[in-house]
Amino acid sequence: MRSAKPWTRLGTLTALLSATALAAACGSSGSGSSGGAEDIVLGANVEVSGSGAAIGQQWQRGIELAVDKANGDQGFLVNGKRYRWKLDLKDNKTLPDQAIANNRAFAGEKAKFILGPGVSTAFVPAMNALGNGDRIVMTPSVAAAQFIGKSDGNNLFITHLSDTGDNGRVAKMVQTLESNYHAKRVAVLLPQDDAGELYTKAFTQYFTAAGAEVVYAKAFPGDTRDFSSYITALKGVNPDLVVSGYLDTWMRPFLEQSAGAGFTSPVFVGAPGTNVTSLGQVGASIQNFAWSVTTRAVDNATDPAVQPYRTAYRAKYGNDPGADGFWGLSYYDPILMMTKAMQDAGTVDNPKSISDAMLKVTQWPDAVLAEHFDPAKRQAVYTPQIGFYAAGKITYVEAK
Amino acid sequence: MIAVWDQLPQAVANGLLLAALYAIVALGLTLIFGVLDVVNFGHGQLVTLGAYLVYALVSGSFSFWIAVPVVMVALGLGGLLMERFTFRPVRSIPINGLLVSIGWIAIIGNVISAVWGPDQYNMTRVLPGSLSFAGLSLSRSQLLVLGVSIVVMVVLSLVLRFTSGGKALRATAQNREAAALVGIRTRRLDAIAFGVGAALAALAGGLVANLFPLDPSVGDSYMVYAFVALIVGGAGSAAGAVVGSIIVGLAVSLAQTFGSTGVASVAPFVVLIIVLFFRPAGLFRTDHEATL
């Protein structure tokens, strides 16, 4: 038996389609509203899967926690009006093509605030795909520096401390390592790519300046998994300290094969991008391992500065952050800083005013990492930490 | 100079261990080439697929020692079907076989990406740790590869020399028409050669999974170096595949240990050019017939 006449069903269908289209339109616009607060789309182009997933998943969590914190229960006030971040997180799979597609989608949605990508190989083409600097972009990618000073980078912010320069991550790391280990013979083995070359040059420069001799400096192809030949050569030069990495993809097999070859006495140092999880199953064999905590160690239960982050993390994800949790701070504080900058600027849709205000933000609610942005380089300035592993124990110190 | 001599034995040992893995891949390639006259460029993807399947089974609580034979059988059967339904129909035009093999690179690669994605996986190692003797340090996992490789070479050699099936394979590789005239069922042997080649790729994949982290490109470099080894030794020659693998493995290891990254990248190809200059058909072939 028929329950409705054709025209009635047609009307119902039309109404449903209209409602669906309306909902889709609201969902895809740059702003909408929910619970009395107007939504502001925050596009996040994140390496949730792929070769950068280990870092990207922590970036995702840092972003989600910052959005929760900024929104609170009621949203946040800008110029007397209440707003909420509406997070639109898209996985770029650590692939440039996907990162480009994500940014084009954000541009299509007229999103004025975009995070990432964080991996340089994905960031550069994705940034080029955006086409102009009429939106605020924040990224930890070191490759973002090439856009600063150009029209594309008008409202670009780099959320990590610079790698290079006398106050950069590598210089601080080397000073801290040398004051701890006093290495005289240093070996550097990093991948044959832009970041690898940058780190090789910087580590060589600063270890040499610190009085150590760089007895081995080689690059390996990015698809290397068998490091035995390099390890044989390293054993031949008998270094006190070996720098490798800069991703777990290489650090883990390198450490595993070093342990397998009985090459365990030097201090192993992971270039920025690694952490203690690179030790994998060989933690008992490797005597000393140190790594750059690019931001601040949020797995450190004794550090009061990270306690609010740990509490929020545990409440949302059901467990404490691990040793790689520090990546979350690449975005966590910058998002809160941007929220504060919007309040200071009194606008949610003028990127230039918000950018100018962002450069003046030095304090904000729920801060974890004490940082500010260098007005010339548009780059975060803060004191990173170095992680030390010895005899199964992990300690963190502020980089010098 | 003293350091060079100190490192040489270890560098040679590393090269031989590397060669053991190349040899398993190259033997599969040469078996297929010898009988079907087609270089299966999808062989590297079979290695990758084998590695992922072994990883999947071991992650699902299977023993590594059971997972590897199971995956070998599965990919061996897959190889039979690949030959029957994709290579056999185009056998009369060899270039089409080449194109089909390239097509398999895309097909298997996309299947791997669809199922496992681009993430990296680490399998818990069987036989962790290392052995030290005579100043050499060798990981147990790499020694396993060497042992398996030797067993494969011996078994394959015995089968090819002393069994009727092996003799039929060699006859088909040497002269397909003559083999058919004396009653050898060459089509069946095509499928068997492809199946055994695919099973060897699966074996290599399983061993790779026990050595290195897995990602969708894990089999690519083995394919490239095994292919160079195949040409150096003489395509279609089982002995040539083994000797070619040893030469390539040593070239890679010595260049990585004592040379720059650039030297290491080109060393196997320099060896290839030198060998082909003096022996255009490869070291173990004197004419254009395969010599399984």
Which tokens go with B151? 């067993």
Asked whether A206 and A177 are in contact (CB, 8 A), the reply is no
Q: What is d(CA B268, CA B225) in angstroms, rounded to the nearest whole number?
A: 8
Q: Which of A95, A262, A281 sits opposite B132 (nearest CB)?
A: A262
A262 with B137: Cβ contact below 8 A: yes
DSSP string, A324-354: TGGGGHHHHHHHHHHHHHHHHHT-SS-HHHH
**CB-closest option in A230, A248, A253 to B212:** A253
From the list B128, B213, B261, which residue is nearest A252 (CB)? B213
Q: Do A260 and B141 touch (CB under 8 A)?
A: yes
Mean per-residue pLDDT, A176-202:
94
Answer whether residue A392 shows pLDDT above 90: no
Could B125 and A233 be called an inter-chain contact, meaning their C-beta atoms sit closer than 8 Å? Answer: no
pLDDT at residue number A29: 40
Cβ separation B130–A260 shorter than 8 A: yes
Nearest to B256 among A93, A229, A259 (CB): A229
* Angstroms from B204 CA to nearest CA on chain A: 15
| Contact residues, chain B, for A232 at CB < 8 Å | 7, 10-11, 14, 257
Pick from B7, B18, B132: CB nearest A226:
B18
- CA pair distance A73, A82, nearest whole angstrom: 11
Flag if B217 and A223 touch (Cβ within 8 Å): yes
- Shortest distance between the Cα of B236 and any Cα of chain A, in A, equals 28
Kindly list the residues of chain A whose beta carbon comes within 8 Å of any beta carbon in chain B. Answer: 49-51, 53, 93-95, 192, 218-221, 223, 225-226, 228-230, 232-233, 235-237, 248-249, 252-253, 257, 259-263, 280-281
Burial readout B60-76 (b: 16 or more C-beta within 10 A, e: otherwise): eeeebeebbebbbebbb
Determine the Cα–Cα distance for residues A176 and A290; give it in Å rounded to an integer. Answer: 10
Lowest mean pLDDT among A33-47, A207-221, A254-268, B138-152: A33-47
Q: Which residue has the higher pLDDT, A283 or A23?
A: A283
Closest chain B residue to the Cα of A282, Cα to Cα: B129
Least confident of A161-175, A184-198, A270-284: A270-284
Question: DSSP character for A271?
Answer: P
Whole-number pLDDT of residue B3: 67
**Mean residue pLDDT across chain A:** 89
Helix axes B238-258, B220-233, angle to 10 degrees: 120
- Kindly list the residues from chain A whose CB atom is less than 8 angstroms away from the CB atom of residue B115: none
Which residues of chain A lie closer than 8 angstroms to B122, CB-CB?
252, 280
Residue A27 reports pLDDT greater than 80: no
Taking CA atoms, A67 is separated from A39, A56, A92, in Å, by 12, 16, 20
Q: Of A225, A263, A280, which has the smallest distance from its Cβ to B212's Cβ?
A: A225
Please tell me the distance from the alpha carbon of residue A390 to that of residue A122, in angstroms, as a whole number: 35
Residue of A nearest to B121 (CA): A249
The reported pLDDT for the residue numbered A2 is 41
Instruction: Give the pLDDT mean for A34-48.
Output: 90
- Size of chain A, expressed as the number of residues it contains: 400
Q: Give the gap in angstroms from C-alpha A56 to the nearest C-alpha of chain B.
A: 11
Q: How many whole angstroms from its chain centre is CA B18?
A: 12
Q: In angstroms, rounded to a whole number, what is the distance separating the alpha carbons of residues A367 and A337?
A: 9
pLDDT in tens, A57-92: 999 999 999 999 999 999 999 999 999 999 999 999
Q: Which of helix, strand or coil describes residue A270?
A: strand
ipTM score assigned to the predicted complex: 0.82
Among A260, A257, A263, A259, smallest CA distance to A237 is for: A263
* pLDDT over threshold 60, residue A13: no
Cβ of B137 within 8 Å of Cβ of A261? The answer is yes
pLDDT surpasses 50 at A4:
no
Q: What is d(CA B250, CA A242) in angstroms, rounded to the nearest whole number?
A: 25
pLDDT category of residue A96 using cuts at 50, 70 and 90: very high
Contact A233 B257 (CB under 8 A): yes
Which residue among B3, B254, B265 places its CB closest to the CB of A236?
B3
Closest CA to B14 of A196, A258, A232: A232
Q: Which residues contact A287 (CB under 8 A, 6 or more apart)?
A: A264, A265, A267, A390, A391
Chains A and B form CB pairs within 8 A to the count of 93
Residue A289's pLDDT is: 96
Whether residue A223 and residue B220 make contact (CB cut-off 8 A), yes or no, is yes
Closest residue of chain A to B266, computed from CA coordinates: A221
- Given this model, what pLDDT does residue A3 score? 44
β-strand A156-158 against A136-139: which pairing, if any? parallel
Between CA A152 and CA B272 the distance in angstroms is 48
From CA B256, how far away is CA B189, in angstroms rounded?
A: 40
- Of residues A10 and A152, the one with the higher pLDDT is A152
Low-confidence ranges of chain B (pLDDT < 70): 1-3, 286-291
pLDDT of residue A12: 52
Q: Which helix (H) or strand (E) holds A244?
A: strand A241-244
CB-based contact A50 B117, cutoff 8 Å = yes
Whether A166 has a pLDDT exceeding 80, the answer reads yes
> Which of B137, B223, B248, B263 to probe the A interface (max A CBs under 10 A)?
B137
Q: Strand (E) positions, chain B?
A: 130-133, 136-139
A260·B139 Cβ contact <8 A: yes
B-side interface with A, Cβ within 8 Å?
3-4, 6-7, 10-11, 14-15, 17-18, 117-120, 122, 124-125, 128-130, 132, 137, 139, 141-142, 211-213, 215, 217-218, 220-221, 252-254, 256-258, 260-261, 264-265
DSSP character for A359?
A: T
pTM of the model: 0.81
Selected residue of B12, B25, B119, B263 to mutate for chain A interface (largest A Cβ count, 10 A): B119
Is B220 within 8 Å of A280 when comparing Cβ atoms? Answer: no
A70, A321 in Cβ contact below 8 A? Answer: no
The pLDDT, as a whole number, for residue A186 is: 98
* Chosen from B140, B210, B257 to mutate, greatest number of chain A CBs within 10 A: B257
With CA atoms as reference, report the closest residue to B252 among A178, A201, A221: A221
Q: Three-class SS of residue B126?
A: coil
Test A94 with B118 for CB contact under 8 angstroms: yes
Indicate whether A7 pLDDT > 50: no
For the four alpha carbons of A296, A297, A298 and A302, in that order, the dihedral sign comes to negative
Within 8 A of B213 by CB-CB distance, chain A residues are 225, 249, 252-253
Q: What tokens appear for B107 in the block? A: 């097909």
CA distance B30 to B157: 13
